[in-house]
A = this chain, B = another copy of it.
Amino acid sequence: MFTAETYVARRAKLCEKVGQGLMLFIGNIDIACNYKDNTYHFRQDSTFLYLFGLKVAGIAATLDAETGEAILYMDELTMDDIIWMGNQPSVSDQAATVGVTKVMPVSKLAGVVEANKGREIHYVPTYHGVTTIRIAELLGKTTKEVENGASVKLIKALVSMREIKEQCEIEELRKHMAVGREMHMAAMTMAHAGRTEAEIMAMVGRMSQRYGGPVSFPIICTVHGETLHNHGYPNTLKNGQLLLVDAGSESPMCYATDHTRTSPVGGKFTAQQREIYQIVLDANNAVAATCEPGITYKEVHLMACRVIASGLKELGLMKGDVDEAVMEGAHALFMPHGIGHMLGLDVHDMESYNEVLVGYDDEIQKSTQFGLASLRLGKRLKEGFVVTDEPGIYFIPALIDKWKSEGICKDFINFDALDAYRTFGGIRLEDDLLITRHGCENLGERIPIEPEEVETEVNKNRFNNF
């Protein structure tokens, strides 16, 4: 359970790690969609949630690394707030729930920052222009200077803490996996000819929202799985197609689930689909069998790539030595992305900080090779990490044509054999793994993934009158 002590302990630990200076945390505001008062759903900044827990828009905090003093900057409600937005607990009651005793009006923040002039002011990188402008005004800097001035020391301290999930975080994630499961069970049962991607996406989103949580990232729901981050939903399903759904839900404490399943429209994989599906499933299972503290995620990634290359070689789509093929990056024609990423308050956990500072370290550097360059997490796994396991195989006509015409990896690819796969689409299978002392655990009840299980779910067609 998340208690005031949870936050007090985190802040104390952070102060110890950062050692000196003043840490400045700007919470998110309501972000405009098409004008200031028409906003997207409010999402508090993840760093703010981790340290100060409050899901209130427009607040801020400072934390003195030397004295440990935490101050929240929040305004009491006005009568107008009550009329338009409803009543809320007093700010001191809210602050008490996260163990903060000192609360000041938001207007006092500038004075506190001014009074600390000369000391080091730490802040994390911004991703909202309005926050950049705010920090620039507070520090008397240009927006460009603010963009380049985030504190590496603060980032490294936060990464070292947030990457190891606490018991309360693991419980929250494990519990919310049931909602992620519902989303995918709904999608499977709707994988029938005549349904539209839009209506399935809408149902998947509803399954998340009905439990009070928004989706944790834009739903991918597409018969064109070969487009990795497909955010459009223009198509009507046809028999023989594959429906790829990559979707997750945000839990009450704002932790993300992230799963992918690929279903045969109409309820029966073709022989060709099933062969490719089995390779992806083998890679997914191999990752779960391999993950344990001490192994690097880069090794896990390359192992999964070898499973894929080996399977594609058996089908006659790849050729030559599998180890060499993977070393050369030939498999990346079929899987151009990484095997996974960290998961937590963000679906790509801590990605706002800096991908390299989160996923890599002095020992494991990020590669520039096509495919491997997209691996977000390369470093050694530790007990308490939560990572995704998401191999995929895609047939991307534009990429195949480019490689073929330029002769890229031609010793490892049977380009002619690929003609039969040009309209195949793509398959991805994604689970969420907790790294345990001696291995890993698939978080939550596993969503049906064996091809027969998936066919059974599709054939239930539970919402056929809806």
Q: Which of A193-225 contact B (CB under 8 A)?
A: 196, 198-199, 201-203, 205-212, 217-218, 224
- Residue-wise interface mask of A (43-65) relative to B, using a CB-CB cutoff of 8 A (1 in contact, 0 not): 10110000000000000000000
Say yes or no for A72: interface residue by CB 8 A criterion: no
Which stretch from A81-89, A307-315, A431-439, A443-451 is at the chain B interface?
A81-89
Say yes or no for A346: interface residue by CB 8 A criterion: yes
Partner of A234, one of B37, B136, B212: B212
* 20 CB < 8 A contacts A-B: A32-B128, A33-B40, A34-B127, A35-B348, A38-B346, A82-B227, A82-B396, A83-B396, A83-B399, A84-B227, A84-B229, A85-B230, A86-B232, A133-B133, A136-B143, A201-B209, A202-B208, A202-B209, A205-B205, A205-B206
Partner of A129, one of B84, B131, B211: B131
- Residue-wise interface mask of A (7-34) relative to B, using a CB-CB cutoff of 8 A (1 in contact, 0 not): 0000000000000000000000001111
CB of B127 within 8 A of CB of A129, answer no
Chain B residues contacting A384 (CB-CB under 8 Å) are none
In the bound complex, how far is the Cα of B211 from the Cα of A84, in angstroms? 30
Q: How far is the CB of A135 from chain B (nearest CB, A)?
A: 11
- Residue-wise interface mask of A (105-137) relative to B, using a CB-CB cutoff of 8 A (1 in contact, 0 not): 000000000000000000000011111110010
Q: How far is the CB of A380 from chain B (nearest CB, A)?
A: 23
Chain A interface size, as a band, is 35 or more
9 nearest A-B residue pairs (beta carbon): A129-B129, A129-B130, A35-B352, A202-B209, A86-B227, A199-B210, A202-B210, A202-B206, A206-B206
* Given A132-B129, A399-B79: A37 and B212 interface contact (C-beta under 8 Å): no
Q: How far is the CB of A148 from chain B (nearest CB, A)?
A: 14
Given A83-B396, A212-B233, 7 more A-B residue pairs with CB atoms under 8 Å apart are A32-B128, A34-B46, A34-B127, A35-B351, A82-B227, A132-B133, A198-B210
> Which residue of chain B has the shortest Cβ distance to A38 in the bound complex?
B217
User: Which has the most chain B C-beta neighbours within 10 Å: A127, A205, A211, A230?
Assistant: A127
